[in-house]
Amino acid sequence: MNSGRRGAGDFDYERGGASYSAHRRADPTITALVHDALGAAPTVVNVGAGAGSYEPTDRYVVAVEPSATMRSQRPPHLARAVDAVAESLPFGDDAFAAAMATVTLHQWRDAAAGLRELRRVSRGPVVVLTFDAQALGRFWLTEYAPDLVAAEQRRYPSLDWIAEQLGGRCVVTPVPIPIDCTDGFAEAYYARPEAFLVDSVRRSQSAWAFVSDEAEAHAVARLRSDLADGTWRERHGHLIDQPVYEGSLRLLVASP
């Protein structure tokens, strides 16, 4: 059985993160929204930075990433990341004009402590890209991998709770997912179901580590069958030409 082997958080990126940079590339549309939310902040700390997705290159950025495997996948044009965890950032109070954390909060061992640290080191906005757990249940993948979606829903803190931890004024905005989204989280493939038949795609989605091998094999086999006989298209074919998907992706911007 797969398991959430614990490293700095609930998933072991040293063993499971090797293929992330191949499938989890910053999507341009989402990038523009994240960078706009950072405003004109000249200095930014990017916590849980991974391989560098969504990291601005037009300002001074300090990236924080505890996984050596993920740090090694950062492209040459980005600065080397600091080896630290969200819950204990090695920076002074108000050290940065803004802070960001993109698709990482659910990985943290102590999300409340990490969010408090984001607020502590930022004198301006804190930008968090995450998912609404309840909205995720509407995605068609639930029909094939209910255990996976249930695991994801348990991992994501509620949006209200995140806002409460950050304090100040928090604005939550739904983020439309483009049909050709390059960041390979589950909903990115809303119109490309065949992607879930590819092992490396699934390995770049940490949720599969919380599903048994048997449940994963069953989900893949059923989806393959439904794609072959037209069942998936009959149920969800309208998505194939739908330019954007209003799923569970959310952008939170907390101002002090």
> Model pTM?
0.89
Express each pLDDT in 105-126 by its tens digit. 998 999 999 999 999 999 999 9
pLDDT digits (tens, 9 = 90+) for 160-182: 999 999 999 999 999 999 999 99
Q: What is the pLDDT of residue 137?
A: 94
6 in any annotated domain = no
| pLDDT score recorded for residue 199 | 94
Query: Is residue 2 included in any domain, yes or no?
Result: no
Q: Does residue 70 lie within any of the structural domains?
A: yes
Q: What CATH number is associated with residue 87?
A: 3.40.50.150
**Residue 104 counted as domain residue:** yes
Task: Identify whether the C-beta of residue 177 lies closer than 8 Å to the C-beta of residue 244.
Answer: yes
Tell whether 240 is covered by a domain.
Answer: yes
Cβ atoms 134, 49 nearer than 8 A: no
Q: How many domains does the chain have?
A: 1
Task: Give the per-residue pLDDT at 12.
Answer: 47
Residue numbers in the chain where pLDDT is lower than 70: 1-22
What per-residue confidence (pLDDT) applies to 24? 83
Query: Which residue bears the tokens 């907390």?
Result: 254
What's the CA gap between 169 and 124, in Å, rounded? 11
Residue 223's domain comprises 13-255
- Answer whether 67's CB lies under 8 Å from 89's CB: no
Q: Is residue 209 a part of any domain in this protein? A: yes
